[in-house]
Structure 1
Amino acid sequence: MQIGMIGLGKMGGNMAERLRRGGHEVVGYDRDPSISDVGSLKDLVERLQAPRAVWVMVPAGAPTRSTVEHLRDLLSDGDIVIDGGNSHYLDDQRHAADLRTHGIGFVDVGVSGGVWGLEYGYALMTGGDEEHVRRLMPIFETLKPEGEDGFVHAGSVGAGHFAKMVHNGIEYGMMQAFAEGWELLEASDAVTNVPETFKSWRHGTVIRSWLLDLLVRALEEDPDLAELKGYAEDSGEGRWTVQAAVDHAVPLPAITAALYARFASRQADSPAMKMVAALRNQFGGHAVASAEGQTGKGADAPGADVTPPVEAEG
């Protein structure tokens, strides 16, 4: 097939390369002229033969919305726009409705595989009309892992990104569980070889996974993770997953806790934990570290004005 690819960063650029290796003709556009095949979206559309297929691989939100709107005014009846970024599924439905009035199809694709996708293939979760998905199957077959699962037509427009959203929520929970297990092993005096312990779990255990493989690789590169700061961003999809759970009244305690743990990682000196420490001091007389690192009086320490009602936390 012939396809346009908008956004040639780490994901888009590798996907374009995998498609070219698979025999497809890719016309790429990027704001960086040094890696772009054309100078503008208009040039890209003019280079493609009708009926056209254009894959949008730019950041979710305003960048994707403006790109889709621009394409709407450039494309023709029978063309298809594919959004392969991490867009919200409700945005997909709005884009599809808008493009439909111009006779333009829309397919949303949740893509997983990261920087390893060029070599191993990408997991693809698609949403859209059957006729549009079927027409794009040569592209999907090339992008997905060879001879394996890794592709699903999950449902109507929005289903692909909804599935990817839930996938990323699960990923949050799995990553948090591995991280907490690592911290506990490091804190233990009993286990003296933490990296090899994780490595031993890669075969024969019920938690073997690609994430575990990546964890072992990270520990091989930096056994104590001394080169890293304990700070983790969230892509936004974890938040969307939790919000969707609220909307559907579905309990997600593990995924929600993992999301909140990422928020906590951004606080060098947690305001909430300051209050927890203050409350423990007030009701239990526990020693409290001051902002300067000194230990202050508990509520029942000599000179305190308040007699605590209890002496133990809880």
Structure 2
Amino acid sequence: MSLEKKFVPELVDAVFAGDQELMLDTVGGASVSNLVSESEARQLHDAGFELVCRRIYPATTDTQTSMTRLYSIIQFRREQVLWAEICGNSYVSLQNGKNIAWMVIVPPSHRLMDEQDNVFQAHCRDGLNILSIKPVKLTHIWAGIFQVHEAGHLYDIAIGAEGATRSLDEYVEGEVRAYRTEDALVSVITQGKFSTVIDDIIITNAFDDPTDILMVVRSDHQKWEQISLRLGTLITHEFPASVSEMAMRYGYYVTAIAFRIAERQASNDGDLMVKQKKAIVTIMRAEPSAARIIESL
């Protein structure tokens, strides 16, 4: 059964249960089939980043806070982030230039492949601001979207907005900033259609709380297929290139809907932040690897 050809209800269960083995069994392939070489991964992420940049400029001159932050992160990624590679326990630069942060592809045989739960992980290690990326297959447009989200975390680490040690509240607030930036990017890519369709989904299904969409994901596969395909085709008609991409797409759709519910209900900016932080915690508690992060803070 091919991931590229068919929506698989069992895979939805596996994704939201965090069951990696079931994910692989469902699509009938070994984990290596989801991987590319380190050089291919770097090319993929550079191409994906340039693709979303072409969609942004000169698409908008919006001065909203979310767009201002998006522009800052794009500039940061262009001017302040270079590629490095992992050699044992060290990082070796692959590019010359002045920078304050690095992106590295985790070699498939490296221990970080097991230690790092997610495809992307931004962190400060040994005084270096690092975005570690597992070399999984991704479509170009989504590689760019995910990278902007994670570059937001890397940007916050570099400017001191995210520290090496964080409280749960600080961690969740960082996620809100990252998802708001991702939403701003997707809005530009879809020319505003994404939020319009989400509004229709919310109204049609009478969603009133993040738990409502999580319930659909878990118990109504047909409805979730309709929702995910409707949102996904606004961005690209390409099928996910890997199980990991499917999981990350799903995570974004759920969060985008939850954030829009919060926007529709919030009375002011402060109330919106509170509601979106609550949504992040609710969603993270529903996914085991994310729940472990919450429990560790």
Fold agreement, TM-score > 0.5: no
TM-score by length of 2: 0.28
Between Structure 1 and Structure 2, the one with more helix by share is 2
TM-score by length of 1: 0.27
Larger Rg: 1
